Structure 1
Amino acid sequence: MQEELLQFKIQKVWILVDLPSGKKAIGTKWVYRNKKDERGIIVRTKVRIVGQGYKQEEGIDYDEVFAPVARVEAIMIFLAFASFMNFLVYQMDVTSAFLYGTIEEEVYVCQPPGFVDPKFIEKVYKVEKALFGLHQAPRVWYETLSTYLLDNGFHRGQIDKTLFIKRLKGDILLVQVYIDDIIFGFTRKSLCTDFEQIMHKRFQMSSMGELTFFLGLQVKRKDNGIFISQDKYVGEILKKFRFSSIRTISTPMETNKALAKDKEVKRIFRYLKGQPKLGLWYPKDSPLILEDFSDSDCVGSSLDRKSTTRGFQFLGSRLISWQCKKQTVVANSTTKAEYIAASHYYGQNPVYHSKTKHIEIRHHFIRDSYKKRLIKMVKIHTDNNVADLLTKAFDVTRFQFLIVRIDKKELAIPGQTTTGKEFSNALMADSLPKTILPTKVFEMT
């Protein structure tokens, strides 16, 4: 607590004042947290003073609050590219990150519990910096960090605004920001050293070395690729719901049974119990070809007859994104269900949103993208569609075959596609079009 208050004093976060007439002060509280590594061992204890932002009033205490936040898919793409380029990936954490941004609004907070000045009991703090818990804090921190990086030779990603890129004589440094956690990869060690020095000049950092654990993902780099797993998380949820000693099972869904709600949720836990070490393998030697396997069952839900959309997205043999979602409308034909699925997964691209409302729009949207050669449509047999893993129940043999195919997926798509070398060159030259890759392939049954 004393360290946190010392940071507040150093950063000049607030000043003790009388509460002006007509103004109100929001409360503060202490929040405690143990930070653990991938093995579950506590590596740091943290405490923060947090403003009770839920008591703020829009238009009075804050206005704009939006701040870009990296999606998990962006992290996976970052790691996929790192495996291809054989990057070393490091991580660092900004200490009390939000306290570096100055807020424009007039905000007052109560003195923190246990640290009320006995000489000025009635006084409150006027907040000058972006205190944790305030609605505007993430926006102010993002603006502070991004402005600093841009001023130091970085430029922001055209699609992902949480990705920052710096190039120097053919070398590249990529920085991915998730609020106050930062991961970065580079082609030359000196770029890493320069970046750490730049950050230390402006912020108080806790450099954590090579990336091993990030957003619940365990990351292990090897000479021939990167392995990503979540056995720590699996262990935690099994312990939380008291399923640590249950009998294991080989598949997550029961065969010859309609997909429905499992109120007790035991089967999926039994499957996870038996597969704690299962993860994703990102091989170094796989090209960066973007593919999408999408499918939809027609009126598959026995409760409301809605279709379920499912899909996998790959960069070469690297699975970077997957989704399984019940459609919001009832499709009255298999074709319409497939169009909804296709437009949804093409909508994973930030340029095209996935909220088209009518089949006619979906039809022309996909057809227009096909005519412009933004995508290649390839019909594949259902036996080879890995997207079926998400909604169909298979026997053990078939299920394991599809699981293996995810990691060792062979590309058998006719026609031209974008190679990993072309993608890398485009990234280095900052000439990527407004899609994740120039060619996007949809494989549909």
Structure 2
Amino acid sequence: MEEEGNINSEPIIPNLDDFSIAIRKGVRKCTKHLIQKFAGYSSLKPSFKAFTTTLDKEQIPSTVDEALKHPKWRKVVEEEINALENNGTWTITYLPQGKKPVGCKWIFAVKYNSDGSVQRYKARLVAKGYTQTYEIDYTETFAPVAKLNIVRVLLSLAVNSNWKLHQLDVKNAFLNGKLEEEVYMKIPLGLRSIERDQKVCKLNRSLYGLKQSPRA
């Protein structure tokens, strides 16, 4: 009878052939057709070179306070507010008890022409839809849009049938939708002097950033 402690303690070496080892794939690299030969700044036409060099010349404000200090940006802020008010987007009222308003912020951008000149300055008021609560200030969010395949079929028909295509841009497109839910928003900066601590904007129409705006 063997004494306790005389058990063979030699390590057991497994057979590596019994295991499937994943070999790391190498990084694909093409040396025959370099991307620099087909795409790059040097291959652009002079007009596009002029366009790309002017993209960072205009300083875009990060806050509305900064924008209101410059006449060109103050003008577009006032134009956006006037468009919202003329469209009846909101009604200034007191916040009902138990309701919580969503926040809002200003987004600024610059649109350029193909030659690099400034086409127009843009200011857009966006609601902070991520603060909305389901079944309280929004329900349905589904919005039917055209699939890419449908667009391709349309373009193919236009080419084969020799149709003329026209493109248009609807300014403040989201503002055409009427809200069914009761949504309140904080008064945006840049609006006329109002008692901000007591009043809010009751949204009558959809606004950029709201979860139900695409559907509306």
Answer yes or no: same fold by TM over 0.5: yes
The higher radius of gyration belongs to: 2
1:14 to 77, 85, 90: 90
Contact 2:127 2:208 in 1 (8 A): yes
Where does residue 213 of structure 2 map in the other structure? 137
Q: Is 1:107 aligned to 2:183, yes or no?
A: yes
Please report how far the alpha carbon of residue 130 of structure 1 lies from its aligned counterpart in structure 2 after TM superposition.
Answer: 0.5
In the alignment, structure 1 segments of 5+ residues that lack a partner are 141-445
Higher strand share: 1
The separation in 1 between residues aligned to 2:145 and 2:113, in whole angstroms, is 22
| 1:57 and 2:133 aligned | yes
Give 1:5 shift.
Answer: 0.9
Shift of 1:40: 5.8
1:75 aligned to 121, 135, 151, which one?
A: 151
Write the letter of the residue equivalent to 1:96.
N
Whether contact under 8 Å (2:81, 2:191) holds in the other structure is no
How do 1:315-326 and structure 2 match up within 5 A? Answer: none
Task: Tell me: CA distance 1:120–1:54, structure 2 relative to 1, closer, same or farther (3 Å).
Answer: closer
* 1:300-315 alignment runs, 5 A limit: none
Shift of 1:102: 0.8
Match of 2:110 among 34, 40, 50: 34
Deviation of residue 25 (structure 1)? 0.5
Question: CA 1:75–1:41 in structure 2 vs 1: closer, same or farther (change >3 Å)?
Answer: farther
The AA in structure 2 aligned to 1:18 is Y
Counterpart Cα distance in 2 of 1:92 and 1:64: 28
Q: What CA deviation, in whole Å up to 9, does each residue of 1:383-434 have, x standing for no partner?
A: xxxxxxxxxxxxxxxxxxxxxxxxxxxxxxxxxxxxxxxxxxxxxxxxxxxx
Kindly provide the CA deviation profile for residues 54-90 of structure 1, in whole angstroms up to 9, marking residues without a partner as x.
Answer: 1111111111111112233322221111101111111
Partner Cα distance (1:99, 1:86) in 2: 35
**Code of the aligned partner of 1:32:** F
Unaligned runs of 5+ in 2: 1-76
The higher-RCO structure (CA 8 Å, 6+ apart) is 2
Identity %: 39
TM-score, structure 2 as length reference: 0.60
Structure 1 runs (4+) greater than 6 angstroms displaced: none
- 1:154-303 mapped onto 2 (5 Å cutoff): none
Question: Once superposed, what is the RMSD of the aligned Cα atoms?
Answer: 1.8
Distance (Å, rounded) in 2 between the aligned partners of 1:19 and 1:132: 21
Shift of 1:101: 1.3
Letter in 2 for 1:81: L
CA–CA distance in 2 between the matches of 1:135 and 1:40? 35
